[in-house]
Amino acid sequence: MKEEIKTNSSNTRQVQRDTAKKSVPLVLIRGKHCFRCGDKLHKNTNSCPALNSTCQTCGKRGHFLKTCIIDGRAIIQGNYKGQNKGQVNYIQNKNNDTSQESDSENDEATSAVASNLIRKTSKGKEVLLDVKLNGIKLQMLYDPGAASSIIGKKTW
């Protein structure tokens, strides 16, 4: 943040702050940084200073402005260690149409109903993005905290 101190004719000082958005996002590394405040991981998550703060950009509670991934100020890198990745073989949308999403040969088929997955919270709103994958226009739910994707190889 850049500060300039100016003196006007009545000898009073004005402080002007350049609050322009940073061009380089803060990189948060999974297992190393706290996603709420941006500092190193806390021994106790309840001791994070951002726990009860409200983001000035997205309005959600629990993180500082500098760690907001919705507006691009922060990005998350790294994978979960020792965690099994879930696999969805098909999903069922709100109209109860079934579309195949994976070519898995796994006998333990997993299904999910999209109407149960897409929930609006009282504090946040659903963010849908218009995307184009292999020339196909799709509307997708933006979920920056998702551990895995349900986009199948055929669609991707």
Q: Which residue has the tokens 């405040």?
A: 37
Q: Which residue has the tokens 């979920």?
A: 143
Q: What is the mean pLDDT of the chain?
A: 65
- pLDDT digits 0-9 by tens, 71-108: 788 888 876 554 445 555 555 555 544 444 444 433 33
- pLDDT digits 0-9 by tens, 94-148: 554 444 444 443 333 333 333 334 444 444 567 777 877 778 888 877 776 666 6
Degrees to nearest 5, angle at CA 118 with 115 and 123: 135
3-class DSSP state of 36: coil
For residue 89, what are its two tokens?
């073989």
3-class DSSP state of 128: strand
Distance spanning both ends of the chain, measured CA to CA: 40
For residue 122, what are its two tokens?
């009282």
- pLDDT digits 0-9 by tens, 4-36: 444 444 433 333 333 334 457 888 888 889 999
